Amino acid sequence: MIGKSEEEIALMREPCAIVRDCLTHVGERIRAGMTTKEVDTLVYDYIRASGAVPSCLGYCGYPASACVSVNEVVVHGIPDGRVLREGDIVSVDLCAYKNGFHGDGARTFRIGAVSEEKDKLVRVTEECFFKGIEGLRAGTPLYDIGYRVRKHAEENGFSVIRAYTGHGIGREMHEDPAVPNTGRKGTGIRLSAGMVICVEPMIAAGDWRVRVLDDGWTAVTLDGRPAAHYENTIVIREDGVEILTL
């Protein structure tokens, strides 16, 4: 939980920019008729062409460069032959490694026209990220983030996934501290200037509980209703935050 130096943060800017631009690249190309494996290929090719390494590939045995999670899949969807269809929502979570550091980000994309519920879910999940970092600065209690995320999600009729959290990031893809999307205001460690963390709301349309499929990775909502995911890598500053993947 030690903050990064300005030199280290400078080195992180490039992999974080690659993540940002790769997500934009995917968003401009993802469409009905593609397979989730084809989405993963877009990610692999872009990251490698940028001179970086896809951090997810081989991480704890994970077999792909991105997590591509469709509809009821919350996170860690393994890309395969599943065909994207009009009305799906698809979260793409990816990391890039360069200069000795990782960057991490996720977006949920709408495939064509989606239902009103799915459209609102994607919008509110992104809003939850910005609510979570609202007023964030050095000295803020960590769990204020999750308090704000959960409050906004529940005010909009949705629930917060508890089983997965954000995290610190740097030379390792996952570092301390864990950054939950729920918590009691005013509690948790005090964030310090130079800390780099990933804030990543995972929001469900229905029940917050999940189960993991037999592949050991794919987490789906217990009730089969859709979920969405939005993530950025941020730096804590004395007077606010800096978002490295936007």
- 111-164 pLDDT, tens digit each: 999 999 999 999 999 999 999 999 999 999 999 999 999 999 999 999 999 999
Edge-first strand order for the sheet with 166-168 is 175-179, 166-168, 196-199, 232-237, 240-243
Q: What per-residue confidence (pLDDT) applies to 1? A: 64
CATH of domain 6-243: 3.90.230.10
Other Cβ atoms less than 10 A from the Cβ of 84: the count is: 23
Domain ranges of the chain: 6-243
pTM score:
0.96
Mean pLDDT by 10 residues, the chain (246 residues): 91 98 98 98 98 98 98 98 98 98 98 98 98 97 98 98 98 97 97 98 98 98 98 98 98
Q: What per-residue confidence (pLDDT) applies to 2? A: 74
Mapping DSSP onto H, E and C, the string for the chain reads CCCCCHHHHHHHHHHHHHHHHHHHHHHHHCCCCCEHHHHHHHHHHHHHHCCCEECCCCHHHCCCCEEEEECCEEECCCCCCCECCCCCEEEEEEEEEECCEEEEEEEEEECCCCCHHHHHHHHHHHHHHHHHCCCCCCCCECHHHHHHHHHHHHHCCCEECCCCCEEECCCCCCEEEEECCCCCCCCCCECCCCCEEEECCEEECCCCCEEECCCCCCEEECCCCCEEECEEEEEEECCEEEECCC
Q: Please state whether beta strands 101-110 and 232-237 pair in parallel, antiparallel, or not at all (unpaired).
A: unpaired
Phi-psi map region of 11: left, alpha, beta (phi>0 left; psi -120 to 50 alpha): alpha
Hunting for tokens 């401009």 — which residue is that? 28
Is the four-CA dihedral 212, 106, 144, 196 of positive or negative sign? positive
- Partnered with residue 70 across adjacent β-strands are 90
